[in-house]
Amino acid sequence: MIRHTVVFTLRHAAGSMEEGAFLRDAKALAAIPGVQKFEQLRQVSPKNDYAFGFSMEFADQAAYSGYNDHPDHVAFVRDRWVPEVARFLEIDYVPI
């Protein structure tokens, strides 16, 4: 199992229509084959200044690679993520 996580801050104002549209549209990532346990999270710790997080799981490396290469994921990254995300940190985990 691979748990794919990312924390990020958007270029949009907090509570704006643009922020809401980004989060709403990102839910489409959950429909990509192989994605399990997709979650959108609001970051609340004062220890960092990221605003949101996404978390999802994949059964194995093949499922994760399929997600990364899927046309819907590629288009989301190109059309929404790159222009709308100000900064992010991506971490992928496997159980130990």
Q: What is the pLDDT of residues 62-72, one digit of tens each?
A: 999 999 999 99
Report how far residue 62's alpha carbon sits from residue 54's, in angstroms, rounded to the nearest whole number: 20
| pLDDT number for residue 87 | 97
Residue recorded with tokens 């199992």: 1
pLDDT at residue 8 in the model: 98
In a domain, 61, yes or no: no
Domain count, the chain: 1
Range of the domain at 35: 2-52+70-91
pLDDT of residue 31: 98
Which segments of the chain have a pLDDT < 70? none
8 A C-beta contact, residue 84 and residue 51: no
**CATH number of the domain bearing residue 10:** 3.30.70.100
Residue 75 belongs to some domain of the structure: yes
pLDDT number for residue 61 = 97
Mean pLDDT of the chain: 97
DSSP string, 15-63: T-HHHHHHHHHHGGGGGSTT-EEEEEEE---TT----EEEEEEESSHHH
* 3-state SS class at 96: coil
| Residue-level pLDDT at 24 | 97
